[in-house]
Amino acid sequence: MTIPARGAEPAGAMDEQSASLAVQTMFNTIAPRYDLLNHVLSANIDRVWWRRTARAFAPILRRPDATVVDMCCGTGDMTLALLRHRPADSKPLLALDFAHAMLVRGQRKFASQGAVAIEADALHMPIPDNSVDLITTAFGFRNLANYEAGLIEMHRVLRPGGELGILDFSEPKGLLGRFYQFYFRHILPRIGKMLSGSSAPYNYLPHSVHRFPGPDELQTMLRACGFAQASWTPYTFGIAGLYRAVKA
């Protein structure tokens, strides 16, 4: 099955390279206030989503010899949630991101907890083929310049039988969906600008969520890229959700 090229499209981006650079620049710019904004704008529900996702993969995380990658780790909150399930003598968890300023802040949180920071592009991970037992990514996959290329790269590094978890936003339906759209498009950018001094990243956020494949489409993409057992579990009435799959 052929999948049309599709990925993040920040304002002004002309191709995948410029889209990737724009995303990288944007996250480096907002890094100093990223954690505060995340918690304020989500009313701290994001903490619940990270913990719930980590629990879903606890059987793998409890294996000391398991190789675990947290891709697009940002400032490390998903990384920390995963580390809570790792035994003391486990292999170091690999926390990967291409936004230097974000990764520096994440490293301050998790360096003493059993994780190693890797500054690298998620579409070109410096990780050998068939070497990883679990890859997670929380609210980062949506920002890749090419979703199909991201899935193919994750498939490459996973071992046969290795698992993938993508935690990201979705667009709920019905009355909640209409309220959600209003908040995302009109209120969130104003709060973001007030706290960070810039509204551009928070205008990009609702656009990126609207552009992101819905649950059915992303599960189809996962299967087309060689994954099996693709599923989606909605969180908080479908505002976010966890995609899971296994490398066949």
Nearest partner of 86 among 100, 70, 107, judged by Cα: 70
* Domains and their CATH numbers in the chain: 17-247 (3.40.50.150)
Residue 142 pLDDT grade (very low, low, confident, very high; cuts 50, 70, 90) = very high
The distance of Cα 28 from the centroid of its chain, to the nearest Å, equals: 16
* Segment 97-107, tens digit of pLDDT: 999 999 999 99
Residue 125 pLDDT: 98
* Segment 173-221, tens digit of pLDDT: 888 778 878 887 888 778 877 777 777 787 888 889 889 999 999 999 9
The distance of Cα 113 from the centroid of its chain, to the nearest Å, equals: 20
- The residues facing 168 across adjacent strands are 241
C-alpha 33/C-alpha 37 separation (Å) is 6
Cα three-residue angle 87-136-113, rounded to 5 degrees: 35
The continuous run of DSSP H or E covering 232 comes out as strand 227-235
C-alpha 199/C-alpha 26 separation (Å) is 11
C-alpha 146/C-alpha 5 separation (Å) is 6
The continuous run of DSSP H or E covering 102 comes out as helix 100-110
Nearest partner of 71 among 141, 8, 168, 160, judged by Cα: 141
SS3 call for 151: helix
